[in-house]
Structure 1
Amino acid sequence: MPEQLPISLLQQDSDSRPYWEGLAQGELRIQRCTSCSRAVFYPRALCPHCHASTLSWIVTTGKGEIYSYTVVHQAYGPFATDLPFVVAIIELEEGVRMMSRLVETPRERIQIGAAVQVSFQSVEENFTLPYFQLLE
């Protein structure tokens, strides 16, 4: 398991609170604009597509594919003991992209377009992050 991250590194505010609460409940939530129907990630107050303030929360399937990735060989702070690790941009089925880590995945099986599923991991007491792993 990765070294624990200080919770102080991650800011929770009124725009992102439903996202963090969802992770704690084992749900990967994103926003959807009720004006233009487009999915939105990262959490924010206004739709980046049509600038409406009519964003609501939806629960994703947690499935997607690897859009891009890199293997990290040098890191500092709380990540230094986890080397090497894989950071990927995941394109969710809902159409948004998010950056996360790939876990429990042999590096030789990682490729662009590979199907992945969210894996919720507790990194600190009462604090969960979404990581991804390859679908079998």
Structure 2
Amino acid sequence: MPEPDASTRPYWDAAGEGHLLLRRCRACGRAHHYPREFCPHCWSEDVTWERASGRATLYTWSVVHRNDLPPFGTRVPYVAAVVDLAEGPRVMTEVVGCEESALAIGMELRVTFREEEGREAVAVFRP
């Protein structure tokens, strides 16, 4: 489970309020995700927080039927996915609220957040 630190605290606080944050590089202009203190494209440390639109398209997915690691074992089957955010970054996530048979590459998705007592809210996506 996520363990926020000083550099990622704004991301987790925003997630708890239902907002997805990205980092954008002021040097090259590209957005990136997962949050880090430098740009993975040009290595600049001139990065800032930006609120994402929450829109994404499905790039690929796999249905997980077995996972013995807590808390995932109680969630099987679930859809592990890779989505392309409207802002550019490709993100690993989970698709919720959708039957496996309805999944299609390129389908439009929106961010939502899984909230569990005592844990950080985690971004997941739904149609």
Q: Which residue is 2:64 aligned to?
A: 72
1:107 aligns with 2:107: no
SS of the residue corresponding to residue 124 of structure 1 reads: coil
Once the 2 structures are TM-superposed, how far is the Cα of residue 25 of structure 1 from its aligned partner? 1.2
| Long gaps (5+) in structure 1 | 1-8
**Deviations along 1:49-83, whole A, 9 cap, x unmatched?**
11111000000110010111000011012111211
1:4 maps to none
TM-score (norm 2): 0.93
**Residue 5 of structure 2 aligns to which amino acid in structure 1?**
D
Provide the secondary structure at the position in 2 that maps to 1:127: coil
- Identity value in percent: 34
Q: In 2, Cα distance between the equivalents of 1:126 and 1:18?
A: 15
**Following the alignment from structure 2 to structure 1, what is the Cα–Cα distance between the partners of residues 79 and 119?**
24
Structure 1 runs (4+) deviating above 4 angstroms are none
Structure-1 residue corresponding to 2:75:
82
In 2, are the aligned partners of 1:72 and 1:86 still within 8 Å (CA)?
A: yes
State how far apart, in whole Å, the 2-side matches of 1:109 and 1:133 are: 11
Give me the whole-angstrom Cα distance separating, in 1, the residues matched to 2:29 and 2:121. 28
Say which of 8, 22, 25 aligns to 1:16: 8
1:41 is matched with which residue?
33
The whole-number CA distance in structure 2 between the counterparts of 1:68 and 1:124 is 30
Shift of 1:124: 2.4
Q: 2:123 aligns with which of 122, 130, 133?
A: 130
Count how many residue pairs are aligned between Structure 1 and Structure 2. 126
Does 1:58 pair with 2:72? no
| C-alpha distance in structure 2 between counterparts of 1:75 and 1:90, whole Å | 21
Deviation string, structure 1 residues 16-50 (Cα, Å, up to 9, x no partner): 11111110111100000011100011111111111
What corresponds to 1:32 in structure 2? 24
Is the CA contact 1:123–1:129 (under 8 Å) kept in the aligned structure 2?
Answer: no
| Residue type at the aligned position of 2:47 | L
Can you give the 5+ residue segments of structure 2 that lack an aligned partner in the other structure? Answer: none
Letter in 1 for 2:6: S
Deviation string 1:84-124 (CA, Å, 9 cap, x unpaired) is: 11011111000001111111101111011110001122122
RMSD value, Cα: 1.2
